[in-house]
């Protein structure tokens, strides 16, 4: 089973030795124009996780393609590019600029720290499908009331996979002043407390779709990864844990193998989909490859 990073939780150029532990590296979200991001403070720790309000700070599409992407390619790790924007055209234009050397595109359709595009997730996926032949993964929000319905819609629009889930909006108050810690007041909540929410999202989407799913949200151990696989994930991404434990990818992989052995199973394939009452998930596709039409 492949282990990736959650977008924005690892700077591969600053920590290449961590990135090389991964089976694929997912970049920070790229937008058409450079963004400085939100006003500080941008990070707040909580008892069970972390709030961030980075605000999609990034160098912009032109500099990313010209400078950052060639450096990332030198790492020797398959690359996924996280793409963001404020309208469907923004997303599509960035997808069109990405070369065939990219393994997949992940559409950030669910950032809680910036204004969303007016188009639906399906409309954005459809625009990007017309702009690139690269595999497209739609990253969805755990705040969706019926995330399974959203999954069905983006699959019909041409998505090749799902990334589940992004952070969910939260608030932390200063213990002394009782005022918001973050400069933006609210931010995206991640960490261990997000894991049951991520599990529910993966479970719901697997029930209605056979698209490959990258499960993420609160994974800190091999057991956490195992449960996402049992819910239907094809791969797992690590997020907040990377801030505290740079060796997490290798550790989680080892713990996952030990957990599978303790269950008396032969491989991770025997775990996949067990939460749905069976072994494995029929119709599963290659993780990074385009879905058959």
The residues that are catalytic are 111
The alpha carbon of 193 is separated from its chain's Cα centroid by a whole number of angstroms, namely 16
Which pair of tokens denotes residue 177? 């002043």
For residues 72 and 25, give the distance between their C-alpha atoms in angstroms, rounded to a whole number. 9
Q: Please answer whether residues 273 and 266 qualify as being in contact, where contact means their C-beta atoms are separated by less than 8 angstroms.
A: no
Alpha helices per DSSP H over 105-194: 121-129, 147-156
Distance CA 290, CA 266 (A): 28
User: How far, rounded to the nearest angstrom, does the alpha carbon of residue 202 sit from its chain's CA centroid?
Assistant: 12
- At residue 207, the 3 state secondary structure works out as helix
Annotate 27-51 with DSSP letters as a single string.
PPPB-SS-B--SPSP-EEEETTEEE
Token pair belonging to 51 = 């709030």
Q: Which is it for strands 136-139 and 161-164: parallel, antiparallel or unpaired?
A: parallel
């Amino acid at each position: 089973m492949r282990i990736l990073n959650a977008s924005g939780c690892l700077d591969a150029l600053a920590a290449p030795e961590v990135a090389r532990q991964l089976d694929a590296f997912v970049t920070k979200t790229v937008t058409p124009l450079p963004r400085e991001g939100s006003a500080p403070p941008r990070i707040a720790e909580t008892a069970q996780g972390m709030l961030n309000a980075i605000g999609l700070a990034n160098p912009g599409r032109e500099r990313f393609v010209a400078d950052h992407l060639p450096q990332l390619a030198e790492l020797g790790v398959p690359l996924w590019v996280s793409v963001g924007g404020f309208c469907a055209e923004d997303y599509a234009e960035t997808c069109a600029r990405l070369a065939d050397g990219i393994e997949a595109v992940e559409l950030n359709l669910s950032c809680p720290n910036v204004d969303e595009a007016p188009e639906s997730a399906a409309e954005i996926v459809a625009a990007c499908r017309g702009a690139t032949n690269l595999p497209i993964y739609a990253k969805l929000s755990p705040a969706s009331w019926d995330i399974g319905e959203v999954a069905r819609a983006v699959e019909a629009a041409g998505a090749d996979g799902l990334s589940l889930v992004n952070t969910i909006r939260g608030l932390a108050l200063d213990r002394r002043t009782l005022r918001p810690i973050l400069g933006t007041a609210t931010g995206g909540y991640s960490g261990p407390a997000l894991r049951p929410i991520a599990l529910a999202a993966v479970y719901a989407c697997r029930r209605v779709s056979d698209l490959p799913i990258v499960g993420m949200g609160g994974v800190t151990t091999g057991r956490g990864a195992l449960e996402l696989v049992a819910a239907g994930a094809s791969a797992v991404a690590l997020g907040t844990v990377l801030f505290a434990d740079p060796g997490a990818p290798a550790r989680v992989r080892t713990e996952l193998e030990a957990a599978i052995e303790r269950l008396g199973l032969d491989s991770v394939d025997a775990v996949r989909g067990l939460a749905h009452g069976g072994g494995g998930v029929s119709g599963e596709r290659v993780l990074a490859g385009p879905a058959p039409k």
